Structure 1
Amino acid sequence: MAPIPTPSAEPDDSPDTYVGLDSAAAERIARERGWPTVRSLPPGAIITMEYRAGRLNFEVKDGFVARAWKG
C-alpha cells in the first residue's frame, strides 16, 4: 500500500496583507514567506475550486492585488 502523502505546509500568513500590493512584489514576498505555489489570476478568471494546501491565489487588476486567498 502506498503511503498517504503529506500536504504542503502553509506559512502562518494572512492573505489580506497582500491586497493593494504591486503583483510582482506580492509574489516575491509570498515566496520569501514560504508559499510554494503562488498563482496570479485576472478578475473573473474561470478556475477549478479544489483546495491545494500551500497555494496562495491573487486576483490581479491593473497590476495590483485586488483579492488574495489560500488554496
Structure 2
Amino acid sequence: MAPIPTPPAEPDDNPDSYVGLDSDGAERLARERGWSAVRSLPPGAIITMEYRVGRLNFEVKDGRVARAWKG
C-alpha cells in the first residue's frame, strides 16, 4: 500500500495582517513570507472554492486589501 502523501506546509502567517495594505505591497510581502501563490480578486468575484495549500487570496477594493484568506 502506498504511503499517504504529506501536503506541503503553509507559512505560519495570519491573513488578517494584510487587511488595509495596498495590494502590490501585500502581494510582495506575502511572497516574502513564503506563500507560493497569491490571488487578488475584486469584491464579489465568482471563484471556485477548492482549497489550494500555499495560496493566499486577497479581496481588493480601491487598491487596498479588504479581506484575506487561505486556500
Q: Give your verdict on TM over 0.5.
A: yes
Q: Secondary structure at the match of 1:8?
A: coil
Distance in 2 (alpha carbons) for counterparts of 1:47 and 1:4: 29
Aligned to 1:39: 39
Deviation at 1:68, TM superposition (A): 0.1
Deviation at 1:8, TM superposition (A): 3.0
Deviation at 1:6, TM superposition (A): 4.1
Q: Secondary structure at the match of 1:49?
A: coil
- Cα RMSD (Å): 1.4
Q: Does 1:61 align with 2:39?
A: no
> Which sits farther off after the overlay, 1-10 or 19-28?
1-10
Aligned to 2:48: 48
Aligned to 1:18: 18
> Which sits farther off after the overlay, 5-14 or 29-38?
5-14
Distance in 2 (alpha carbons) for counterparts of 1:52 and 1:46: 16
Unaligned runs of 5+ in 1: none
Unaligned runs of 5+ in 2: none
Identity of counterpart residues, as a percentage?
A: 86
Give the aligned length. Answer: 71
